[in-house]
Amino acid sequence: MIREIVQYGHPVLRQRCRPVTEVDDTIIELVADMLETMVDANGVGLAAPQVGEDLRLAVIDVSHDPDCISFLKVNGEDANLEEIMPLIFINPELAFGQEKEFGMEGCLSIRGIRAEVRRPEAVKATLPQLDGSVLVVETDGLLARALQHEIDHLNGVLFVDRLPAVAKVSMRNRLKKLLDSNPQG
107 is in an annotated binding site: yes
Confidence check: pLDDT of 185 > 60:
no
Q: What percent of the chain has pLDDT over 70?
A: 98
* Predicted local distance difference test score (pLDDT) of residue 70: 95
* Predicted local distance difference test score (pLDDT) of residue 182: 72
Q: CB-based contacts of 172: which residues, under 8 Å, 6+ apart?
A: none
H helix or E strand, kind and range, residue 155: none
Predicted confidence (pLDDT) per residue in 42-86, tens digit = 999 999 999 999 999 999 999 999 899 999 999 999 999 999 999
Give CA torsion, residues 25, 86, 19, 21, to 10 deg.
Answer: 40
- What domains are there in the chain, each with its CATH number? 11-181 (3.90.45.10)
Which of the 8 DSSP states describes residue 55?
B
Please give the Cα distance from 176 to 134 (Å, whole number). Answer: 40
153 is in an annotated binding site: yes
Confidence check: pLDDT of 183 > 90:
no
68 is in an annotated binding site: no
* Predicted local distance difference test score (pLDDT) of residue 184: 59
Is residue 36 annotated as part of the catalytic site, yes or no?
Answer: no
Residue 13 DSSP SS3? helix
